[in-house]
Structure 1
Amino acid sequence: MRVTLPILLDIEASGFGRGSYPIEIGLARADGSSCAFLIQPLDEWVHWDPKAELLHGISRARLAREGRPVREVAQWVNDELSEARLAYSDSWGYDNTWLSLLFHHAGMLPRFRLEALRRLLDEDQLNGWAALKESVIAEGGIQRHRAGDDARLLQLTWQRAQHIDRE
């Protein structure tokens, strides 16, 4: 029996807390493929935390050069997720806030719901999550703190957690 993979969404941001905004959105699709888009900051999005840049490695100059307009990214996310109508995030509090900000400034409503990844995990899976994720990182050589790769990492970790349950 083939397990259907949950769709995972991850967002990189300009920092944490007040004034922060999304700079990259990534998805890991149900078929296991992943994709991401950089977001061109709006003029009023000025908050920038150099510590966040050290983590994700995305500069403001790169966002200006390669980022896609807010409305285009919101439309892309809607197009990707409207059929499934559901995606999951491991940092729901942050990601949902940044997603809401993106859609608000795009003048659009999301056609999907974002849920916390923990809803898909039982207590044993939650307790072993961090160690399992580290083993997936070590084995896969995954680049961390880029939205598409992080979304795929979460999906692979979830998949591994399901296999552990069946053993």
Structure 2
Amino acid sequence: MSCPALIDFEASCLPEYGQSFPIEVAIARIDGSSRAWLIRPSPAWRYWDWSDEAEALHGISRELLADKGQPPELVLDEMIAFTQDCDLYADADLDEYWLEVLCHAVKRPPPFPIRYLGEFIGRRGYTRPQVVSALEEAKRRAPKEHLAREDAKRLAIMVKYLLDQPPQGLSR
């Protein structure tokens, strides 16, 4: 099984500190496959905000994006191809916002919904101790934070770990 898939974005800054735009996105499937893209800023974002604090967290500079970033249209097309018919989940609603910003820049509607990971976990009846255990295992296997590629992988590891266990929170 390759789905569901987990998505994570890094951004120029957090929205509460200004008008942010996506700079990196990663998608990881629970089968272990993953993709990550650096996003070259769209001309539409030219005057949007950039946070030195955010750059210090994720380590992605404007120069790196100008040199290695891919055009937003290409990133979106490759995201669609990689996800195929997977349901996508994120651990924060900001990821859906940054998908919308990316899509707006290329004048296309969002190609898929991003669902909240907590709903996925809750619907399946996993207990808090099971989720904590799964997250601890995922952090052990993917300890780096604030890199979209690592954050998405960690979430996929956590979900795979949970799916390999029987839920305990629902009575049968």
Q: TM-score range by the shorter chain?
A: 0.7 to 0.9
- How far, CA to CA, are the matches of 1:152 and 1:74 in structure 2? 19
Please identify, of 60-69 and 22-31, the stretch whose mean Cα deviation from structure 2 is larger. 22-31
Matched with 2:81 is: 79
Aligned-partner SS, 2:143: coil
For 2:51 and 2:127, the matched residues in 1 are separated by 30
Unmatched tracts of structure 2, length 5 or more = none
Match of 1:33 in 2: 33
Cα pair 2:142 2:150 within 8 Å, conserved: no
Opposite residue 60 of structure 1, the aligned amino acid is: R
Which residue of 65, 68, 81 maps to 1:66?
68
- Root mean square deviation, CA, Å: 2.3
Q: State which drifts further: 59-68 or 152-161.
A: 152-161
Superposition deviation, residue 146 in structure 1: 1.4
- Equivalent residue pairs, number: 162
Q: Deviations over 1:89-137 (max 9, x none)?
A: 111x201111001011112223322111112113874634456423422
Distance between the aligned counterparts of 1:126 and 1:27, measured in 2? 25
Counting only pairs closer than 5 Å after superposition, residues 61-140 of structure 1 correspond to structure 2 as 61-81=63-83, 83-84=84-85, 86-91=87-92, 93-122=93-122, 125=126, 127-128=128-129, 129-130=131-132, 132-138=134-140, 140=141
- TM-score, normalisation: structure 1: 0.84
Instruction: Check the 8 A contact 2:6/2:153 in 1, yes or no.
Output: yes
Give the fraction of aligned pairs with identical amino acids, expressed as a percent.
31
What TM-score, normalized by structure 2, do the two folds share?
0.82
1:14 alignment counterpart:
12
Residues 117-126 or 152-161, more deviating: 117-126
Matched, 1:144 2:149: no
Structure 1: runs of 5+ lacking an equivalent: none
Note the C-alpha offset of 1:6: 1.3
From 51, 54, 58, the equivalent of 2:53 is: 51
CA contact (8 A) 1:84 1:112 kept: no
Q: CA deviation at 1:166?
A: 5.9
